[in-house]
Structure 1
């Protein structure tokens, strides 16, 4: 724990916490003094909670199912007396198919988890946060929700929906001191992007991963976790209805054939 714990005594829920961004964020929240309910559909959530330590409680949860989300919030009330932070992070990518290849069922499942799940998080978390004087709801969106080129059609649409959702949520919770924000990660090495990394490395192109952003690298889950910590903390007390982009600068420009100083980029 840091010298001044930024989340001391706070109660947080993190979905999709068995690995990747969710696990990194739950670990950081606990290190900063929060009690954390960690949830995932994966059985690995128990090991994740054990690794985080006694501040973490594991729950199996389908983050796109309203009854499961409501159960998470009830557990926060029963175990810890309330809720201060909800990080609606769970999501699925659906791979990188063409819009011509995705079925109605593909669209329904991706939207259910990636967009309806965060909507249910806001719906059920806000009433528990309000009596505590406010709170922070954070939803994982993506640079794919900003413009084309970073994901499949259904995934991109779902993440664009999340960006819209947090703006609407912030407005509809006016006067409650409940802040609703999103994080838009760029390319981060997680279980969701594992196929991208493996494919590039198998072709001997591992050094090209992330080359389209100005930092010329992919990101790490801990870098998104630090952004989530900021939004969860009182340091972001005036940040509301915002989509925070953490992508190494990828979305700062439209793609083009970039020239390096002294040489021409391929």
Structure 2
């Protein structure tokens, strides 16, 4: 992604997982990165900034910091998110838990678009990428509040792409499948404790879990000129999981069955 050199970039949720891997990838591509999180951020070559991605004043401050430090803003990766816990039945979650998941996972990206888009447009255009999830496509991949919030992100980028028509600002979502991060660590830890780690990711055609760096590569693509005609899109990066409903068998010719 050679055209990312010198670009001014904000990454939220950059203390770990997908955010950290993506901030590092932007730095490696020559971008000038503000790496934001509520926790301490340590990404070589990036400027750390403590923010709450669901707080409007904090999001606005991150945009102003990028403009002050780097002369403007070209790319915003609205990645910060929370699971809300893995007790996800609709009848198991109270209103406060719903509100917090939606505040961070859905309102956070909306605030990123609100504050970043005008400054990106001032530079002649650029990209906003929001982290959604395959859990936002259909049930069965996450707790109820998390899944609903990510479905909202998918719709949000479509709405934003339309409302930013003519500005040169592209808005897209990346939809990770199962990736080992701090958020999903309980799933991996439980599988390892039960001796079933080998089963992780077996529902997707690649039959493995993903790596944070694989999501970072997709984000850099969406941020780059290589994706100059991609707008309002939701890109699954999930090993093929969302290409079908999970089944216990494979509808393949017997001779080709693995």
User: Which category of TM-score, normalised to the shorter sequence, fits these structures?
Assistant: over 0.9
Query: What is the TM-score with the length of structure 1 in the denominator?
Result: 0.93
Partner of residue 249, structure 1:
240
Distance in 1 (CA, whole Å) between partners of 2:2 and 2:242 is 32
Where does structure 1 differ by over 3 angstroms across 4 or more consecutive aligned residues?
259-265
Q: Deviations over 1:92-135 (max 9, x none)?
A: 01122211110000000000000000000000001111111001
Tell me which of 28, 33, 53 is aligned to 1:36. Answer: 33
Tell me which of 128, 145, 150 is aligned to 1:159. Answer: 150
Partner of residue 116, structure 2:
125
Equivalent residue of 2:6, what SS?
coil
Which has the larger displacement, 96-105 or 80-89?
Answer: 96-105
Partner of residue 135, structure 1:
126
Tell me which of 2, 8, 19 is aligned to 2:16. Answer: 19
Partner of residue 79, structure 1:
69
Query: Equivalent residues in 2 for 1:1-266 (5 A)?
Result: 5-43=2-40, 45=41, 48-49=42-43, 52-53=44-45, 56-97=46-87, 98-259=89-250
Q: Deviations over 1:15-70 (max 9, x none)?
A: 00011000100100111110000000012x1xx23xx22xx111001000000000
Distance in 2 (CA, whole Å) between partners of 1:216 and 1:170 is 33
Count residues with an aligned counterpart.
255
* Aligned residues: CA RMSD: 1.5
Unmatched tracts of structure 2, length 5 or more: none
Q: Deviations over 1:154-193 (max 9, x none)?
A: 0000000000000000000000010000000000000000
Q: What's the CA shift for 1:264? A: 8.5
Distance in 1 (CA, whole Å) between partners of 2:235 and 2:246 is 20
Q: What's the CA shift for 1:242? A: 0.3
Q: What's the CA shift for 1:6? A: 3.1
Is contact 1:258-1:264 (8 Å) kept? no
Q: What's the CA shift for 1:5? A: 2.6
Is contact 1:135-1:179 (8 Å) kept? yes
Unmatched tracts of structure 1, length 5 or more: none
Distance in 2 (CA, whole Å) between partners of 1:110 and 1:263 is 43
Distance in 1 (CA, whole Å) between partners of 2:255 and 2:94 is 47
Query: What is the TM-score with the length of structure 2 in the denominator?
Result: 0.96
Q: What's the CA shift for 1:228? A: 0.2
Distance in 2 (CA, whole Å) between partners of 1:146 and 1:230 is 22
